[in-house]
Amino acid sequence: MDFFSSADLITALPLVFLTGWACILLLVAAFAGKRPGLLPALSLAGLLATAYLLVSQMGLEAEAFGGMFVTDGFSTFINLVLALGGVLSIALSYDYLQRMGIAKPEYYVLMLFSLSGMMLMASAADLIVVFLALELLSIPLYVLAAIGRPDARSEEAGLKYFLLGAFASGFLVYGIALVYGATGTTLLSGVVAAAAAGLEYPIYLVLGAGLILVGLGFKVAAVPFHMWTPDVYDGSPTSVTAFMAVGAKAAGFAALLRIFVAAFPSISEQITPVLFAMCAATLIIGNLLAISQSNVKRMLAYSSISHAGFILMAVVAYGNDAVRFDVVSSALFYLLGFTFASFGSWAVVMAMEKSLGRGLDFKDYAGLFRRSPGLAIAMLVFMLSFAGVPPTLGFAGKFYLFRAVLEGGYVWLAIVGVVASLISAYYYLRLVVVMFMQDGEPEVHHEPMLKITAGLTAVATVLLFIFSEPLFAWASQALLRIF
């Protein structure tokens, strides 16, 4: 059988198109990059075309490249969320980069290459491909984090992200090597078959799974691999922070869910206690550290850590056959709600930012409701969604997530999640109090795309709550391929 065929290209067509489009834009940036609106317009067109190709593949379930790449409902759902995130990132970036004086043509090319890595990670069915996807999504992000140079904070963020990311990649590679040593293969289907046939040294499979969890835990910012997050989020240009907050997290959880649900159910008894402890620590520590922040950007960074903990609740129950598909569906639905609220909140932060790193304290938001009621109401919606308060998509996401966890028998984990939600309500509502009840004269940048993005995501966060049942039904149909 041929390893490479035209059928493989058709199966991977959205990813192949996006990668090829990014390569074309690299040439455009070199020869016509001085036209400020050309690259974002072409990038947006490429993402919309990619989304069309993804929609055309809905319902398709196929393997490609010798079983190393799969297209299924799970990958299609994740990749559509990533394409939506890319469109929102471009909408947020153009005016912001111009205002901050850091508009560079390679910015959009790097974003598309990173998105290509994220989409590859969602479809990877081989551990080597997972590693390649991780590097493809990460290396452009390292550059984007430092693209604010000569600002020292941006350069520091890029260096920290690069050094710690490279260190985490080492754990992932070592874990892959141990899995290969235990099973003789890196294909997820091969790992399942080897585990079913019986392993001579099963401890290597457990250790390998643990090290893979470390590598991917860094990417999703789970405790105790979260220490890079507040510094990198704070130092990076805010448009980059918004992109990595959603994109890297979605891709990391796509890999976590596919690897553990599809390949490692045989060792769930050994891995579940570790996942439980990691999830509980992420929920509690992320929220407790967010309370003490006086900087909105750092508060949202710790908030992002806590949301990683909520999604990890789904991963904890991956070994329970009765709820395996329910927890995957709830994680996908939660990611969709998080995408709208996250990009919307970062849009408001960008509108309030005076210059790189300035205008980000809580006190700078005092009186926002009087100065710009639309932005203040939008931020209120996002904070309520993060806290899980109805009528927002965040409440529906937590409802389905907690229901799946309880049905899986993890009552104590659900209790930890409820406590974490109550803690988070304090610092989310603290920002609301500052915006609505304190006097001030905040400086607001009324850039059209920022206001439109904030408004549309706020409306979507509330309106989609009404249609949460059909949305969850769609997530439930996004089945993950089991080997």
Q: What is the pLDDT of residues 26-65, one digit of tens each?
A: 888 887 656 777 888 999 999 999 999 999 988 888 888 8
The pLDDT tens digits for 373-391 are: 889 999 999 999 999 988 9
Give me the residues paired with residue 64 across strands.
69
User: Is the pLDDT confidence value at 180 over 90?
Assistant: yes
The angle subtended at Cα 113 by Cα 175 and Cα 121, nearest 5°, is 35
Top-confidence residue, 353 or 142: 142
Integer Cα distance of 349 and 446 in angstroms: 12
pLDDT score of 355: 67
Q: Tell me the whole-structure pTM to 2 decimals.
A: 0.93
C-beta of residue 331 within 8 angstroms of C-beta of residue 266: no
Quote the pLDDT of residue 3: 58
pLDDT of residue 2 exceeding 60: no
What pLDDT score does 483 carry?
A: 61
Q: 222: burial class by Cβ within 10 Å (0-12, 13-18, 19+)?
A: buried
**How far, CA to CA in Å, does 483 sit from each of 200, 264, 320, 394, 431?**
21, 11, 16, 32, 47
Ordered DSSP codes for 122-168: HHB-BHHHHHHHHHHHHHHHHHHHTTTTT-HHHHHHHHHHHHHHHHH
Average predicted confidence (pLDDT) for the chain: 88
Packing angle of the helix pair 373-387, 448-466 (nearest 10 deg): 40
Please give the pLDDT value at position 103.
Answer: 81
Token digits of residue 148: 């604010």
Phi, psi at 222, each rounded to 5°? -95, 145
Q: Pick the closest to residue 435 from 387, 371, 350 (CA basis).
A: 371
Q: Domain spans of the chain? A: 6-477
**CB neighbour class for 317 (10 Å; exposed up to 12, middle 13-18, buried from 19):** buried
110 pLDDT band, cuts 50/70/90, is very high
Tokens representing 199? 């392993």
| Nearest residue to 238 (alpha-carbon basis) of 357, 139, 88, 359 | 357
Tell me how many degrees the CA angle 69-194-73 measures, rounded to the nearest 5: 30
pLDDT digits (tens, 9 = 90+) for 126-144: 999 999 999 999 999 999 9
When pLDDT is averaged across residues 235-240 and rounded to a whole number, the result is 90
pLDDT grade for 6, boundaries at 50, 70 and 90 = confident
Q: What percent of the chain has pLDDT over 90?
A: 51
Q: 410-453: per-residue pLDDT in tens?
A: 899 999 999 999 999 999 999 999 999 888 777 777 788 888 99
pLDDT band at 212 (very low <50, low <70, confident <90, very high): very high
Residue 372 has pLDDT above 80, yes or no: yes
> Can you give the pLDDT at residue 144?
93
Tell how far CA 324 is from the center of its chain.
Answer: 21
Q: d(Cα 258, Cα 317) in Å, to the nearest integer?
A: 13
289 or 201, higher pLDDT: 289
Q: What angle do CA 483, 179, 169 make, to 5 degrees?
A: 110
Q: pLDDT-derived band of residue 1, with 50, 70 and 90 as boundaries?
A: very low
The string of pLDDT tens digits covering residues 298-349 is: 999 999 999 999 999 988 887 777 666 778 889 999 999 999 999 999 999 9
CA distance 190 to 270: 20
Q: What is the structure's pLDDT at 33? A: 59
Does pLDDT of 183 surpass 70? Answer: yes
**Do 309 and 279 form a contact (C-beta atoms < 8 A)?**
yes
Asked whether residue 251 carries a pLDDT value surpassing 70, the answer given is yes
- pLDDT above 50 for 83: yes
457 has pLDDT over 80: yes
